[in-house]
Amino acid sequence: MDSKQILVRIQDDSLITQYSCLMFIIETYSLAVIFCIITMLCWGSWANTQKLASSSWRFELFYWDYALGILIMSFIFAVTLGSNGEGGRSFFTDLAQANRSAVGFALFGGIVFNLANILLVAAISIAGMSVAFPVGIGIALALGVIVNYIGNPVGNSLLLFGGVALIIIAILLNASAYKKANKGASAVSSKGLILSVISGCLMGLFYKFVAASMFTDFQVPDAGKLSPYTAVFLFSVGIFLSNLIFNTIIMRKPFVGSAVSFSDYLHGSFKNHFMGILGGMIWCVGMSFSIIASGKAGPAISYGLGQGATIVAALWGIYVWKEFKNAPPGTNRILMLMLLLYGVGLALIILARNA
């Protein structure tokens, strides 16, 4: 065997080694839609873990474990689905070749999301669910679909934005139902409203940064860009590291209530810590599935379907936590109309991809 043959053999062996363990990729749009629906269920359900923790367990303390749960789950996905498949690039190989720009986008996306999420929770504690969720998530849904569609215009714009409009109306109807159920509540706090608006704007932007860090064709990886699994892992690192700053500040200067200390966190029960980690893992399953699905569905559709989670959260409130049990007459009609509009809006977003 001459030197040229040896060189070719070495190159072939190197390629086999590099691509023998690749990543899981969604091949069909129907499977992508299923992944997006799972995202919606996860994003609309993770907050139940906070309800299941002790009533005295402050959200600031819960949030440490929540951020840790996101990081753990993202790594599990990276070394399993992100390292076994028939296309793309495996996690550790992908991480080693990533350029600074791609890494920076993914980390920054995590920082932006973390700040948005903390502000949203603060807004809920001040202004209540009926104001914070419709304003915050409504802005996030509209802005997120717009910026992601501009970046990667996949799908019929009329159906996509028509579906988004119906879901926003459904969210506003949900707010109306909450107000009827709590009509004796105090006036809306301007601080809570402002925090909701800021949170919604940030929440509508974070997904774009994560999408910008990835190669667009998951089957054919670009040099320097990230796979969806690596992007979500670095996004989670951004959440975890920024939490050391954001949550520490919120603990010392909370928007509502007295300050809490790290000793309070250390004295938490196993159940409290477990619920926080579980909540973060559930949210990260949703984020991972959304990013994985974006390869076939497009970032705008994938994000838009996932942010319908507000209605999932409303269903938990209606049927499990019985938040409307003593609501005045007429509330149920509003809730049924909300669910109808949401279902139609969801169908339009799904149909937008192939229209």
Which residues neighbour 258 within 8 Å (Cβ) at sequence distance 6 or greater? none
> Distance between CA 284 and CA 70 in Å, rounded?
5
| pLDDT of the residue at 224 | 97
Q: What is the token pair recorded at 166?
A: 């119906």
Within 13 Å, how many C-alpha atoms sit on residue 283's CB side? 28
What pLDDT does 10 receive?
35
User: Domain residue spans in the chain?
Assistant: 35-352
User: Could you list the pLDDT tens digit for every one of the 355 residues in the chain?
Assistant: 554 444 334 344 344 344 446 899 999 999 999 999 999 999 989 988 988 998 889 989 999 999 999 999 999 999 999 999 888 999 999 999 999 999 999 999 999 999 999 998 888 777 766 667 778 888 898 899 999 999 899 999 999 999 999 989 988 888 888 777 777 555 556 888 889 889 999 999 999 999 999 999 999 899 999 999 999 999 999 999 999 999 999 999 998 889 999 999 999 999 999 999 999 999 999 999 999 999 999 999 999 999 888 788 878 888 887 877 888 888 889 988 988 998 899 899 999 988 7
d(CA 147, CA 153): 10
What own/partner pairs with CB < 8 Å and gap ≥ 24 does 47-55 have? 47/279, 47/313, 48/279, 48/316, 48/320, 49/275, 49/276, 49/278, 49/279, 49/282, 50/275, 50/276, 50/279, 51/321, 52/275, 53/271, 53/272, 53/275, 53/276, 54/269, 54/271, 54/272
* Residue 83 DSSP symbol: G
Residue with the two structure tokens 């954001």: 246
Report how far Cα 311 is from the mean position of its chain's Cα atoms.
15
Q: How confident is the model at residue 180, as a pLDDT?
A: 79
Q: Give the model's pLDDT for residue 188.
A: 57
Cβ neighbours of residue 18 closer than 8 Å, sequence gap 6 or more: 93
Q: What pLDDT is recorded for position 223?
A: 95
37: Cβ–Cβ under 8 A, 6 or more apart, which residues? 305
Position 7 scores a pLDDT of 38
